[in-house]
Amino acid sequence: MIPATLERVIERENAMFDLDQFIGDLRRALGERSRQALREVVARAVAEPAALLKRIGIPEKPAVQVLHQGPDLTVLNVIWAPKQVTFPHDHRMGAVIGMYGGREDNVYWRRVPNAAKFQIAPAGGEALGGGDTAILGPDIIHSVLNPLEKLSGAIHVYDGPFLTTARSMWNCETLTEEPYDVSVAVKGMPNEVAG
């Protein structure tokens, strides 16, 4: 007879992340109209990174992998390059981020009313590491930094059609708002990275 603790370890090692079940759980959470419910689903997925990686693959290079795309839900596997920094940008929809490995440092920005110089200003931040999750509201503006010398990976869940929604980014030098342009956002990055 196998001891119960060893049995749980064996179950965990053999556990497989079920993408269809994950998407179904996210859809049910969307029905609850609660980002906290979405966060709980994402938190369960990133709590077992080995099982997740068995299904989505071990990251080998920076990329944005579309795991699901629909009118009410987009799920991405975002693999940040070492030392990668993004432009400040918005999503225009709610999001939940779940880190399964590495780190993602978020700088949150706020619009500056009647700005004399910069249209946005820093308004806080949050560092996320393996197993951490964060909820981003639909109006949030943020930029992201992978401060590590290695790849970092996260599941990003959006409650809308993220890949086809018009969004904004802010010029890094002038902090002026511009239409989001993936070719500018990933300039100098590997071709696989798609904002």
Interval 86-115: pLDDT, tens: 999 999 999 999 999 999 999 999 999 988
Average pLDDT over residues 168-175: 94
Beta bridge partners of 74: 69, 158
How far is Cα 62 from Cα 153, in angstroms, rounded to an integer?
A: 9
φ, ψ of residue 2 in degrees (nearest 5): -85, 130
Percent of the chain with pLDDT over 90: 79
The class (CATH top level) of 59-185 is: mainly beta
Q: Are 46 and 155 in contact (CB under 8 A)?
A: yes
Instruction: State pLDDT tens for residues 26-59.
Output: 999 998 877 899 999 999 999 999 999 999 999 9
Q: Which helix (H) or strand (E) holds 121?
A: strand 120-129
- The residue ranking higher by pLDDT, 185 or 172, is 172
**DSSP three-state, residue 103:** strand
Q: Give the max Cα distance, the chain.
A: 73
What's the whole-model pTM score?
0.86
